[in-house]
Structure 1
């Protein structure tokens, strides 16, 4: 079973739900609003993908940060700190596979990775 992380009312997460449900793929959803990501999760995720990929710089949460806060995100540790403080800034959905993560919604990638 897959673990899917995100925010329930996010349009991109809804697209992922629709795709997963249409393909009858079981998953457990973890809503950042109810179950915030923990540091140990972020550390594990950063081992699988570059820390820069985890940050949604197109979202309103990032854009609400002042330029000094944005400029301070320069490495894994500073990225983890900002993401722990602002879980909604984690790119979503985040799907955990065995030793791999899928970020965002990409129908072709979902087909390649999830319909084996």
Structure 2
């Protein structure tokens, strides 16, 4: 079953959850602000993407408060620690598929290919 880390006030998350429901894909919704993905899950996602940048919600308040320069100067370990400490820093929705693959953000064509393809 898909694990969907989302935030109830996030319109992109609401669209993604609606798409999942319409597509008949079973999923569990987890509030990313209360229970963010674990450090090992985030580390695996970083490895999957080959970079940590896709993991950050660069348009969010937490990211802006921290500052792009600060994030850029962080080591990978510091970046993972920051993401685990503040779920609002994580790009959402953050989805973990049963096979361990991770999707961040919602692009219907990508989700279609990855989850239904």
Short-chain TM bin: 0.7 to 0.9
Q: 1:21 — aligned with what?
A: 21
Q: Where does the alignment leave 5 or more consecutive residues of structure 2 unmatched?
A: none
TM-score (norm 2): 0.84
Instruction: Give the SS at the match of 1:9.
Output: coil
Cα distance change of structure 1 residues 85 and 69 upon mapping to structure 2, 3 Å threshold: farther
Q: Where does the alignment leave 5 or more consecutive residues of structure 1 unmatched?
A: none
Q: CA RMSD in A?
A: 1.8
- Rounded Cα–Cα distance in structure 2 between residues aligned with 1:44 and 1:106: 21
1:58-73 equivalences under 5 Å are 58-66=59-67, 69-73=70-74
TM-score (norm 1): 0.85
Cα distance change of structure 1 residues 85 and 92 upon mapping to structure 2, 3 Å threshold: same
User: How many aligned positions are there?
Assistant: 115
